[in-house]
Amino acid sequence: MAARRLFHLQPCESPPAAMSRNGYFFEESGYLKCDTDDVKEEGAGEELFDGVNSTIVSGDSIRFFVNVNLEGPPSATAESEGAGCVLLHTSRKYLKLKNFEEEVRAQRDLDGFLARASIILDETATSLDDVLREMLKHFAEDPENMEPSCNFEKIMNTLFTDSGTPREGNGTPDVSESTGMNVQTCPSHLKFHLLSDTIQGVTATVTGVQYQQSWLCIICTIKSLQRRHVCISRLERPQNWGENSCEVRFVILVLAPPKMKSTKTATEVGRTFATMFSDITFRQKLLETKTEEEFKEALVHQRHLLTVANQRPSGMKDGHKSQGNKPLKLHDFLNIGKGISDDIARRFPVYALDFTDGIIGNNKAIGKYITTMIFLYFACLLPSIAFGSLNDENTRGAIDVRKTIFGQCIGGLLYALFSGQPLVVLLTTAPLALYINVIRGICDDYHLDFSAFYAWIGLWNSFFLVIYSLFNFSLLMKLFKRSTEEIIALFISITFVLDAIKGIVKVFKKYYYHGHTGGVKSRADAIPGLGINTTFLMNSSVSENQTCTHDGHYGRETAVLSLMLMLGTLWLGHTLYQFKKSPYLHARVREILSDCALPISVLTFSVVGSYIFKEIEMSKFNYNASDSLFVLAPVQSLSIGSVMSAMGLGFLLSMLFFIEQNIVASLTNAPENRLVKGTAYHWDLLLVALINTGLSVFGLPWIHAAFPHSPMHVRALAYVEERVESGHIYETGSLVPGEVNEFSLGQKPVACAQGKSRKGLLPRKRILAWIVSVKETRLTSLMANFLVGLSLLLLPFPLQWIPKPVLFGLFLYIALTSIDGNQLFERVALLLKEQTAYPPTHYIRRVPQRKIHYFTGLQVLQLLILCGFGMSPLPYMKMIFPLIMIGMIPIRYNLLPRIIEAKYLDAMDAEY
């Protein structure tokens, strides 16, 4: 928000009657001051003071939003004499001092000013109006600053906020030089004008806020301008222009067109020069300069000082903790079991609280637990059905839907009970289904027993994971920068999208282009095994076990309805997920609808597909009732050579487990989630190894930490600040650079911005999730996985009534919600936006635009390589994509710094 400076309105020496009765009120630092000659009306003014004074503190920042009604209590006398009244709306915001070392625009703003400097030394004008007119005149006379379509008289009017109540008659204007305000002395018409938008230095003290009164930065947005202009005027003598501006020696005027990049607005340029003028030593040097060249040299020297002063140790840059960048040493990995013991020592003291928080005590969250449990139940059950159906087709029934659901239940319950971070969600995923498909192909090629070979690969995988956890290999995740994590996260989201697209394409190939195979079925003819293979990442053929009773165009209806169900599930789920940001219904109802978006959308369109359109044949997952869920794999049937070959596949699989488990845990424990009970990377990795050992020997599908389910679980248990703006509810955003999130005593001066709310004046703020706290509990995961186990009783019906296109819509919903906040995706979107729409993010401020696009292009290239291996039609190439993920570490540390400077890479990898 721009700064609004409101000067104290001083009445004239001989104020008219109406003026002395009503007075003028000035709001400054959270209080109102009234000057009046009528003692009786002073009492009314005090009453108004008690009602209007308002200081609103939001989060860590301090903002004053005051609507000041200047009208006193109505009286018949006042009305008869035509007393006037105006309303003043005042808003304040504290701006952070500009970092000349990190924010690239700070250097460029000064370079642009020095290239065509507009400097006025020893200005003799005494009133604010005259000083500004001289500065605008200097613009008009400078051939380098010509604006052909600009009317400087209109600019002069725009610099001020003119307010008044027109009445009959005319008055003679009288200018008060001490305040720089134009006041009509006639009682029938009262008019004054105040500066609209200013930035001024302030310092927090024990007694309040102290203003720097020797300089004033005035900013303004003018539509007719073609480029930005800055003029600095040094006054010959200090001027008294009202309260908090009693000894002004420097005036900085910043003019800018409205459509500018967020880092080039008038506020941002003003912040650059305000930061420089906030130094009293620098202002003293400017007073001693004799010529413009000396003045420019002082500016350049001050820039150098600010750049050096803002340099910090590399370990403390970019919002990262210094210990986070501490180099790893060999003895960190040779201290066997230290990471596991530290994790247990950290988490065990709060283990009991994981069951009681939100249930016992004042801050109960039972309702939130219930909605989160419902969401998590469907988030675990539906992927289990989808990937279970896929594994059933790929393994020819060796791993089916029933086994997948049972494995999810057992693994999820064990992890929820004994893990160090119970908010992490374990699931079987698309990459794991890919491995299972490749393993089946190897068994067919070499005539191996699938169950035994699968078990040995799982056992070797667990063995390597135990080694990783004992030797503290999770410390290596410090080498994974944010950019690398986002590439992997976006890769997972792309796999979900491709799963859905491939599935719906196969439905169209089956029913739309070969419509004679489709048909209308009656309820009596429904076959439980009815299904069509939608191989998400794999290439499998469509099952042909459907029998059709009618020929014709009905198959096309199946294809079209499948598309509608998929898109409808996506639309309804995402709409309800975003419903918490709407102004409709009660806040608690909005939260429930948002948390239950996934089950509501799935259930709704399952009813639509299986009941409302029951005459249209729909593809459903296969269900084969196996004899037993506990059948030990014949591990002794394989030869030594086969066991050794399984070790190689198990090692590659352990790489995938290691990366996925630690990256998802890192995203769950991100600082912005405000988790307080600590992390347990090493212990959780060991627990995952033990869980998958049991799953392997019984032929159940493997599971590991799932993205984006784990961050979504955290979000469902979080309390988020909200604000209302223009009738809509927004989550309170993290403050962009240029704002202050703290204002404590003893700080350096900060720029205090005041101004009226005018469209186009301020850079748009980027709205981010601002989590206040999270209920860290095991109960939601425990209950959700327990319900998943009970869902075995719902097979084959009613779970088989969930059409596969609804599952495709589920995958699209997961992919869409997971890319929210992904910086790589946001920077790719910048390529399609005009510069004026760029958000004022930390990397936009700190990194040149060209470097940002270079870095984005290199990330996209790495993503394409990863997708090329992970989604290759060659089965053996798919298995090495975990090594591609590991290979991104040397690329980030060795190759990228040769293309882009390290400081820019660190800025784009920072959290803020």
**pLDDT computed for residue 529 by the predictor:** 36
Q: How far apart are the first and last CA of the chain?
A: 20
Beta strand pairing call for 229-239 and 248-256: antiparallel
pLDDT digits (tens, 9 = 90+) for 68-82: 333 344 444 444 444
**Residue range 695-704: average pLDDT?**
94
Quickly tell me which residue has 């409101």 as its tokens. 6
State the virtual CA torsion across 104, 105, 110, 112 in degrees, nearest 10: 120
Structure tokens at 383: 């992927």
pLDDT for 192 equals 55
Residue range 836-846, pLDDT digits in tens = 777 777 788 78
- pLDDT, tens digit, 9 for 90 and up, residues 852-870: 899 999 999 999 999 888 8
pLDDT band at 54 (very low <50, low <70, confident <90, very high): very low
Which residues touch 108 (CB under 8 Å, ≥6 apart)?
A: none
Strands 181-184, 87-95: pairing is unpaired
Q: How many CA atoms lie within 13 A of 586 on its CB side?
A: 3
CA distance 214 to 804: 71
- In this structure, are residues 629 and 694 in contact, taking their beta carbons and an 8 Å threshold? no
Please tell me which residue, 724 or 714, carries the higher pLDDT value: 714
Residue 688's pLDDT is 96
Residue 168 has pLDDT above 50, yes or no: no
Lowest-confidence pick of 35-44, 477-486, 499-508, 902-911: 35-44
pLDDT at residue 148, rounded to an integer: 67
The alpha carbons of the chain give a radius of gyration, in whole angstroms, of: 34
The stretch 336-356 carries a mean pLDDT of 93
Task: Read off the pLDDT band of 746 (50, 70, 90).
Answer: very low
Tell me, what's the pLDDT at 460? 96
- Tell me the average pLDDT across 271-290: 89
* Structure confidence at residue 11 (pLDDT): 39
| Residue scoring higher pLDDT (348 or 819) | 348
854: burial class by Cβ within 10 Å (0-12, 13-18, 19+)? middle
Mean pLDDT across the stretch 448-463?
95
Kindly report which listed range (8-12, 116-120, 279-283, 340-344) carries the lowest average pLDDT score.
8-12
- What confidence score (pLDDT) does residue 45 get? 37
Q: How far, in Å, CA of 32 to CA of 46, rounded? A: 9
Give me the mean pLDDT over the 561-570 stretch: 94
pLDDT given at position 753: 53
The residue among 637, 617, 756, 702 whose CA lies nearest residue 220 is 756
Contact 619, 507 (CB under 8 A): yes
CA distance 603 to 196: 55
Provide the token pair at 42.
């002073």
Q: What is the per-residue pLDDT for 904?
A: 87
Distance of CA 767 to the CA centre of its chain: 7
341: pLDDT confidence band, cut at 50, 70 and 90? Answer: very high
Range 65-71, long-range pairs (CB < 8 A, 24+ positions): 65/90, 65/91, 65/92, 66/27, 66/30, 66/90, 66/91, 68/25, 68/27, 68/32, 70/22, 70/24, 70/25, 71/22
8 A C-beta contact, residue 368 and residue 775: yes
Percent of the chain predicted with pLDDT > 90: 25
Cis peptide before 890 (omega within 30 of 0): no
Q: Which two tokens stand for residue 808?
A: 């495709």
**Confidence at 338, pLDDT banded by 50, 70, 90:** very high
Average of per-residue pLDDT values in the chain: 76
- pLDDT single digits (tens) 141-165: 777 766 766 777 778 878 887 644 3
Predicted confidence at residue 410, as pLDDT, reads 95
Q: What is the pLDDT of residue 312?
A: 52
CB distance 457 to 649 below 8 Å: yes
**In the predicted model, what is the mean pLDDT of residues 51-69?**
33
Cβ-count burial 769-806 (b if 16+ within 10 Å, e if not): bbbeebbbbbbbbbbbbbbbeebeeebbeebbbbbbbb
3-state helix vs strand vs coil in the chain, percent to 5:
50, 15, 35
Determine the Cα–Cα distance for residues 7 and 192; give it in Å rounded to an integer.
11
At 605 the pLDDT is 94
**Residue range 628-647: mean pLDDT, rounded:** 89
- Measured CA to CA in angstroms, residue 368 lies from 359, 671, 677, 713 at distances of 11, 22, 19, 11
- Rounded CA-CA distance 347/324 in Å is 20
pLDDT band at residue 740 under the 50/70/90 scheme: very low
What percent of the chain clears pLDDT 70, i.e. is strictly above it? 74
84 φ, ψ (degrees, to nearest 5): -100, 155
Tell me the pTM. Answer: 0.69
**CA-CA distance, 754 to 139, in Å (whole number)?**
25
Q: Is the model's pLDDT at 667 over the cut of 80?
A: yes
Task: Kindly state the greatest CA–CA separation across the chain.
Answer: 110
For residue range 99-153, what is the model confidence (pLDDT) as tens digits?
888 888 888 888 888 888 888 898 888 888 888 888 888 877 777 766 766 777 7
Tell me if 820 sits within 8 A of 580, measured CB to CB: no
Number of neighbouring beta carbons within 10 Å of residue 157: 11
Length, in residues, of the chain: 912
- Which segments of 170-282 are extended strands (E)? 173-176, 181-184, 190-195, 198-205, 208-211, 215-221, 229-239, 248-256
- pLDDT, residue 911, reads 66
Q: What pLDDT band is residue 521 in, cutting at 50, 70 and 90?
A: very low
